[in-house]
Amino acid sequence: MSKLFLPLRLPNGQVIPNRIAKAAMEENLAGAEHAPSPELIQLYRSWAQGGAGLIITGNVMVDRHALTGPGGVVLENDQHLARFRDWSQACRSQGAQAWLQINHPGRQLMAVLGQPALGPSAVPVNIPGLEKLFAQPSALSEVQIEALIGRYLTTAMLAERAGFTGVQIHAAHGYLFSQFLSPLSNRREDQWGGSLENRARILLRTVEAVRARVAPAFCVGVKLNSADFQRGGFDVEDAAAVVQLLNQKGVDLLELSGGSYESPAMQGQTRDGSTLAREAYFLEFAERISEVASMPVMVTGGVRRMAVAERVLQGRVAMVGMATALAIEPKLPGRWRAGEDAAVQPVVVNWKNKALAAAATQAVVKKQLVLLSKNRPTNPNVSPLLALIGSQLTLRQQARRYRRWLASMR
């Protein structure tokens, strides 16, 4: 049998039935009250039926005032816990582990949401020509930082109550914890900035808090950038040092990805012009970081063929994370297990403006998620321009709905 379909035992004793994970994607399919909608649950039922051993949800926000995008799911109290139980049951319906990814956007907060952005420092997102899309951030106070750690803990404990088998703490892709780790966005001079140990403090404290309060059998994962792919930013040596700090914190699985909104390496593009492989973008970095990691390592980014997935597992890496490929063909793991040499073509948008191209690529992928949520066949050949326009129109509608929802809670 291919190593892809061998079980993986985690440090806490839990077993993932195979080595393929549905990695997180941002769906923006929450209901009107920002809880899981029937469409979102149907989407995850499709992935459960597809055969992945681990299903990691898209962003679930720890604060209703800070979403990575409109239509995002929020879990900060038990008001809608029954819907989260429905979601976890759909994910676990075919035997997969189901982990809730918990997150905060920090400075990567869209201006259209009408909320103040908070980050480690008052350093705005810098995407040439698109700066006005993001709110201008203010620096978090130490009191606010402590409160945020408490929010992550609350969301993790609620996830356990809802029947998820673990959480993944998001510290990649330029979101809040990634911002603290990067010297480009963290210019603090207190205990939360300066040295790498200080910049990693909020992540380490959060992992410690969650691990101490959830059951030993409940899994705690971390998603970490292998690098920011920006000159002067968080690099692979920094990542290796953070992993060594995490080694003693009870982390069950480390997922490695890379990039941010400013340098979307998770889509195979980087601000600093470095070359990434067309598939398994971050494998070289993952192999280097696996040398110092005491927990199993998973690599995500670009895998869409079985031969490449098997190549990932030939070295130290323990799991393969797949996102876009499973948005297009959710049954890919099952087809591979059945012996099919099935593959998914990459979504490529060759526009001159790299930021717009990245947005269009994401829009095409999100279109597939919408189709799956309606139990319809995917269509990756949709027009990137039309997908982007449709995505922007939906974003505006969802943003208006979100602002009304927040106003109704005052």
Q: Is the pLDDT of residue 402 over 80?
A: yes
* Mean pLDDT computed over 299-307: 89
In order of 72, 97, 258, the CA distances from 374 in angstroms are 18, 23, 31
Return the number of other C-beta atoms located less than 10 Å from residue 98's C-beta. Answer: 26
pLDDT at 128: 73
pLDDT at 4: 97
What are the φ and ψ backbone dihedral angles of 16, each rounded to 5 degrees?
A: -95, 125
CA–CA dist 148, 396 (Å, integer): 28
Domain ranges, residue 87:
3-347
103-158 pLDDT, tens digit each: 999 999 999 999 999 999 999 998 777 778 899 999 999 999 999 999 999 999 99
Q: Is residue 409 part of a domain?
A: no
Q: Is the pLDDT of residue 24 over 90?
A: yes
CA–CA dist 255, 16 (Å, integer): 14
- What contacts 240, CB < 8 A, 6 or more positions away? 288, 289, 291, 292
Reported pTM: 0.93
pLDDT at 304: 92
Bridge partners of 321, per DSSP, are: 21, 300
Q: Which among 22, 17, 16, 5 is positioned nearest to 303, based on CA atoms?
A: 22
Q: Is the pLDDT of residue 283 over 90?
A: no
In order of 7, 8, 173, the CA distances from 166 in angstroms are 17, 15, 20
**Four-residue CA torsion sign, 31, 37, 39, 44:** positive
Q: Which among 229, 231, 279, 238 is positioned nearest to 258, based on CA atoms?
A: 229
CA–CA dist 144, 22 (Å, integer): 33
Q: Is residue 50 part of a domain?
A: yes
Q: Is the pLDDT of residue 281 over 70?
A: no
- What contacts 159, CB < 8 A, 6 or more positions away? 60, 75, 84, 100, 102, 166, 167
Q: Is residue 377 part of a domain?
A: no
Strand runs (DSSP E) across 129-252, as ranges? 137-139, 166-171, 219-225
Q: Is the pLDDT of residue 353 over 90?
A: no
What are the φ and ψ backbone dihedral angles of 190, each rounded to 5 degrees?
A: -105, -160
> DSSP readout, 243-296?
HHHHTTTT--EEEEE---SSS-GGGT--TT-----SSSTTHHHHHHHHTT-SS-
Counting Cβ atoms within 10 Å, is residue 189 exposed (0-12), middle (13-18) or buried (19+)?
exposed
**259 touches 215 (CB < 8 A):** no
- What does pLDDT average to over the chain? 91
Q: Which among 156, 172, 159, 206 is positioned nearest to 299, based on CA atoms?
A: 172
Our CA dihedral for 189, 191, 196, 197, rounded to 10 degrees, sits at: 170
Placement of tokens 């992993």 in the chain? 243
Q: Is residue 13 part of a domain?
A: yes
Placement of tokens 């750690």 in the chain? 149
CA–CA dist 340, 334 (Å, integer): 9
Q: Is the pLDDT of residue 275 over 60?
A: no
Q: What is the CATH number of the domain that holds 150?
A: 3.20.20.70
pLDDT at 265: 42
**256 touches 282 (CB < 8 A):** yes
CA–CA dist 94, 90 (Å, integer): 8
Q: Is residue 255 part of a domain?
A: yes
Q: Is the pLDDT of residue 271 over 50?
A: no
What are the φ and ψ backbone dihedral angles of 404, each rounded to 5 degrees?
A: -65, -40
> DSSP readout, 319-376?
EEEESHHHHH-TTHHHHHHTT---B--------SSHHHHHHHHHHHHHHHHHHHHTT-
pLDDT at 249: 97
Q: What's the total number of domains in the chain?
A: 1
Band (310; pLDDT cuts 50, 70, 90)? very high
Q: Is residue 170 part of a domain?
A: yes
Q: Which of 11-15, 231-235, 400-404 has the lowest mean pLDDT?
A: 231-235
Q: Is residue 400 part of a domain?
A: no
Q: Which among 116, 216, 201, 203 is positioned nearest to 160, based on CA atoms?
A: 216
Q: Is residue 232 part of a domain?
A: yes
pLDDT at 227: 61
- What contacts 222, CB < 8 A, 6 or more positions away? 168, 169, 171, 203, 207, 246, 251, 253, 254, 255
In order of 1, 21, 117, 154, 272, the CA distances from 222 in angstroms are 29, 14, 23, 17, 25
pLDDT at 264: 47
Bridge partners of 118, per DSSP, are: 138
